[in-house]
Amino acid sequence: MSEASAAALYAMSGVLIGVSVITVTMRFYARRCQKAPLLADDWLLIPSLITFIGTCACIFYGGHIQVFGYSTHDFTPEQLKATKERSAKVFAPLTPYSK
């Protein structure tokens, strides 16, 4: 189960990054073809795309260190301790916002 979950997580993130980049590119292309001005909603797509790619990068990293996409039921106690420590490092930047 764990390998399939991690592979599915990687595949879904990769596909969504590709679809997002194509969608944003096509929107700018359509605006140019229509000779329509680029407005704030068009330009705000770029930071949101960058944020989404960063989120997917975190998912890839979390999958690499086996924090995301792996069942903890299959781990030994030593692996659980290591996973807990790695999870704390991954989620440390979010801790101030969760209070």
Express each pLDDT in 38-55 by its tens digit: 999 999 999 999 999 999
- Torsion on CA atoms 82, 84, 89, 94, rounded to nearest 10: 170
Q: What is the C-alpha separation between 99 and 74, in angstroms, rounded?
A: 31
What's the chain's Rg over C-alpha atoms? 18
Q: What is the pLDDT, as a whole number, of residue 69?
A: 73
Structure tokens at 93: 């930047």
Express each pLDDT in 69-86 by its tens digit: 777 677 778 877 887 787
What's the distance, Cα to Cα, between the start and end of the chain in Å?
34
Q: How much is the pTM?
A: 0.70
